[in-house]
Structures are given as C-alpha cells and as structure tokens.
Amino acid sequence: MSPRELAISVRGLAKTLGHRRVIENFSIDVPAGHIFGFLGPNGSGKTTTIRMLCGLLTPDSGTGRCLGHDLIEESAAIKREVGYMPQRFGLYEDLSIKENLDFVARLYGVPEARRTVGQTLERLGLTERARQLAGQLSGGWKQRLALAACLLHAPRLLLLDEPTAGVDPKARREFWDQIHGLAAHGMTVLVSTHYMDEAERCHEVGYLAGGKLLVHGSVAAVLANSGLTTFEVAGPDLEALAADLRGRPGVEMAAAFGASLHVSGTDPALLEASIEPYRSDPRFRWTRTRPSLEDVFIHTLARAGVAPS
C-alpha cells in the first residue's frame, strides 16, 4: 500500500448499544502512515468507533474499507492485520514479559516466533527485563509490553485506546517517539487521548461528542478554522478577572491556562470592546495569541451543547 493511499475510508457508520445511539453518521478518511487522534469527553464514542474500525464491533449501518477489506464482510481479515491496545492492561501479570510475548506469538501463529519475540524485546527496550513478571512492572513498562504484544504479528494498523493514561511524562514521550517511528515506516495509527500535547503530535485530530464527529483535520487546520480570537492575560487574581469577563458580549470563554488566563471569542470586534476597560489596568498584561487546541476543544463542545468531562 502506497503512503498516499487510504488505510481507512468509511461513510455513515452508526452504532446503537442498548437503547443509546453511541455513534451517528461517522465518516472519515485516514491515509496510510498517518497518526489520527480522537479527542472527546468520556462517553463520546471514541472506544466504540475504534472497535468498529478494527472489526471488533459491527456497525448497524454505513459502509467502508479498512486496509483494503470491506468493514462488514471482511472483518476477520481486518482483525488479522490490526494491533489493538485497549485502555486496560490485558496481559497475564503472573507471566514474565517474554512468556507473555511467547503466548501472544503462538495465538497469532507468528512465523519464526522465537526470533520475532527476541527482535521485539530488543526493539522496545525490554530485553534486560524479559524474565520480569508483568505484574511487577510500572505503568510505563506495562505500556511497552502491551505495545510489543500489539506489534508481534506485524500489523499494518495500530489502534490505541488512551494508551498513556496514568503513565509518567518521560514514558509518554518515549512512547510517542516509538509511535512516530512506526508511522514513518508506513504503519497507520488511530489513538484516543485526553492529553492535548499528545493530540498535537498527531497528523490529524477529530473531536467526538455525543457520538458525532464535530470537526477533524490537521492540528493547524483545526486551529485556523476555529474562528477563535484569543488573548492571554497575565497578572494577579486572574480568577476574579475571569468571573468579571464571563458573560460579557463577545467573551465566549475565559479559562485558566497555566499561570495565565485565556480569553476567547469568535467576534473579534465585540471581544475587544468588552476587554478594553480591563486592558488599561496596569496589573494585567494582555497579549494576542493563537488559540490552543484545548481552547478549540472546549469551544467546540460548548457550541455543540456538550459539557466537557
């Protein structure tokens, strides 16, 4: 498959679980070798979408192809070419790292399993810990083991469901370096995440809320198309300032951003008129800035009438 070809192309996917419509009219194209990040509050449908795309769940309606296979008719073929890493660690904690990988290799019928397991251990930096029990590993090392298990059968598509939850920043950085290395060699990656810094490392992102894909595209395109004008404010007692600003004409958001405050709106003239009295206050320093991905995320959810979780 050429890097310019589509690894995933689906139209109008929908899924109901119980009495709730979890996904509605989901359509997307993902080129091979791209990393696509799903953002959204809890219950927005991210996990259900990922499971439909890898053949674990059958859509109620819609059509599409994944890795050249029909999503409905050839789900078994899709599963064979997908590596899926769920939110929760799913390997055996009373087996060693190597024993877990040996077991997974047998499940997939991996050719030359011993050599493949050895290469995977080395690739993920697990060789020196190969005999350590999985239950004794920290979150970051469990993450590496789970990723190693996903890669044993040389999948063309990697699906990662909030893979770095509870992992320290160093392990998260190393994990993303590995993911980018895989994508550079042609692997397609779908990842759900709550971390905005991780989303910014994806080639494209999409916001899901209430089972609908509200917006998607490259990070640069999502920011540019948001229509938000944003000011960053530094100074004392910013929470009181935010309380004063909220509800004023043109002020659609006033939210803490680290040690500063982000004040945003989609009508630049109205926004500037509302903040003008405060800009002459010498206690505060106002700087026009680009909206952050988090700003756009919260604004998109608010516009859709969905409370962030």
Higher pLDDT, 195 or 35: 35
State the average pLDDT over residues 264-291: 94
What is the residue-averaged pLDDT of the chain?
A: 91
Q: Does residue 308 surpass a pLDDT of 70?
A: no
| The pLDDT of residue 2 | 44
Kindly list the domain boundaries of the chain, sorted by start residue: 6-217, 227-290
Query: Coil, strand or helix: which one is 57?
Result: coil
How many Å apart are CA 194 and CA 41, to the nearest integer? Answer: 8
How many Å apart are CA 105 and CA 117, to the nearest integer? Answer: 7
Q: E strands of 54-129, at which residues?
A: 61-66, 69-70, 82-85
Q: Does residue 3 surpass a pLDDT of 50?
A: no
The single-letter code of the amino acid at 167 is V
Going by their DSSP bridges, the two strands 253-257 and 188-192 should be labelled as unpaired
**CA neighbours within 13 Å on the CB side: how many for 237?**
7
Please check whether residue 289 is in contact with residue 223, taking contact to mean a CB–CB distance below 8 angstroms. Answer: no
Contacts of 12 (CB under 8 A, 6+ apart): 25, 26, 27, 61, 62, 63
Query: What architecture (CATH level 2) is domain 227-290?
Result: 2-Layer Sandwich (3.30)
Please check whether residue 205 is in contact with residue 222, taking contact to mean a CB–CB distance below 8 angstroms. Answer: yes
Check: pTM over 0.95? Answer yes or no: no
| The pLDDT of residue 13 | 96
Locus of tokens 């050895």 = 118
Higher pLDDT, 164 or 208: 208
| The pLDDT of residue 1 | 44
With a pLDDT cut of 70, the percent of the chain lying above it is 97
| The pLDDT of residue 4 | 53
CATH of domain 6-217: 3.40.50.300
With a pLDDT cut of 90, the percent of the chain lying above it is 71
The two tokens of residue 252 are: 């659609």
The two tokens of residue 99 are: 């024993």
State the average pLDDT over residues 239-266: 93
| The pLDDT of residue 55 | 84
38-96 confidence digits (pLDDT tens): 998 888 888 899 889 888 899 999 999 999 999 999 999 999 999 998 888 889 999 99
| The pLDDT of residue 305 | 66
